[in-house]
């Protein structure tokens, strides 16, 4: 039986702020983490694997999940649905596993408004400056100037939602930001109401007192 209930950890940031790198570090730091694999109705791209990159579902199947409250969050983007299934997340946190969500502020709002809102720990990651954010996007050399300009324009809207999150980290130094992220998760894990075995443990202590009489 799990000694605590797992966390539902939402990580959000504008593109280039370091969210994906920090997520990978968390998964390497503690192998008990579970990463929430998003579902989508779009077709798999070359090299993508069902269950690893995405859960590839038919549109009718996805809609059925929406109608039956089977999605924690979802959105339609360029004619395709994307979202997070509720059942595997509930199963993981009940078993004491922390689940990582790499989603934007809109998905974060939906999860925070879901039935699992008490399990949510939301963290927003900011860049040290807009100039640094643009520099990181260019350094990656993955996108054209036009795509980078679009990402920069979108970043302003994303950053405007920073105050909706429980914690905000400024990723000036990756090692420092990761240490801060570890500290947040460690503290959240130790909260009294998350430790499901605590009542029984304290009852055991009281029994010991009685036995000493």
Integer CA distances (angstroms), 98 to 17, 59, 186, in order:
23, 29, 11
Which tops the pLDDT comparison, 142 or 50? 50
Distance CA 120, CA 161 (A): 17
The mean pLDDT value of the chain amounts to 92
Distance CA 13, CA 105 (A): 8
Predicted confidence at residue 30, as pLDDT, reads: 96
Q: State what percent of residues in the chain have pLDDT above 90.
A: 77
Yes or no: say if 17 and 33 are a contact pair by the CB < 8 Å rule. no
Report pTM.
0.87
Please state the CATH superfamily assignment of the domain spanning residues 8-36+97-211 in this structure.
P-loop containing nucleotide triphosphate hydrolases (3.40.50.300)
Predicted confidence at residue 102, as pLDDT, reads: 87
Q: Which residues pair with 207 in a beta bridge?
A: none
Predicted confidence at residue 38, as pLDDT, reads: 93
pLDDT digits (tens, 9 = 90+) for 68-101: 999 999 999 889 999 999 999 999 999 999 999 9
Q: Write a three-state SS string for the chain.
A: CCCCCCCEEEEECCCCCCHHHHHHHHHHHCCCCEECCCEECCCCCCCCCECCCEEECCHHHHHHHHHCCCEEEEEEECCEEEEEEHHHHHHHHHCCCCEEEECCHHHHHHHHCCCCHHHEEEEEEECCCHHHHHHHHHHHCCCCHHHHHHHHHHHHHHHCCHHHCCEEEECCCHHHHHHHHHHHHHHHHCCHHHCCCHHHHHHHHHHHHHHCC
Per-residue confidence band for 44, with pLDDT thresholds at 50, 70 and 90: very high
> Domain-by-domain residue ranges, the chain?
8-36+97-211
For residue 192, is pLDDT > 60? yes
Predicted confidence at residue 86, as pLDDT, reads: 95
The contacts of residue 137 (CB under 8 Å, 6+ apart) are 15, 16, 143, 148, 151, 152
Predicted confidence at residue 78, as pLDDT, reads: 81
Distance CA 75, CA 80 (A): 8
Angle (CA) 78 83 88, round 5°: 160
For residue 1, is pLDDT > 60? no
Predicted confidence at residue 141, as pLDDT, reads: 64
For residue 35, is pLDDT > 80? yes
């Amino acid at each position: 039986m799990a000694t605590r209930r797992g966390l539902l950890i939402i990580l959000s940031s504008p593109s280039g702020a370091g969210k994906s790198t920090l997520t990978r570090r968390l998964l390497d730091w503690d192998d008990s983490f579970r990463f929430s694999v998003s579902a989508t109705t779009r077709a798999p791209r070359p090299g993508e694997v069902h269950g690893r990159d995405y859960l590839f579902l038919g549109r009718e199947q996805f809609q059925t999940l929406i109608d039956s409250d089977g999605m924690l969050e979802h959105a339609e983007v360029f004619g395709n649905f994307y979202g997070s299934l509720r059942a595997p997340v509930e199963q993981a946190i009940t078993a004491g596993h922390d689940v990582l969500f790499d989603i934007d502020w809109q998905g974060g709002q939906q999860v925070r408004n879901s039935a699992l809102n008490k399990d949510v720990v939301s963290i927003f990651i900011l860049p040290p400056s807009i100039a640094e954010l643009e520099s990181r996007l260019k350094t990656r050399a993955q996108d054209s100037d036009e795509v980078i300009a679009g990402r920069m324009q979108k970043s302003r809207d994303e950053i405007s939602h920073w105050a909706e999150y429980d914690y905000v980290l400024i990723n000036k130094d990756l090692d420092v930001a990761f240490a801060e992220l570890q500290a947040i998760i460690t503290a959240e894990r130790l909260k009294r109401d998350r430790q499901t075995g605590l009542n029984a443990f304290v009852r055991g202590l009281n029994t010991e007192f009685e036995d000493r009489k």
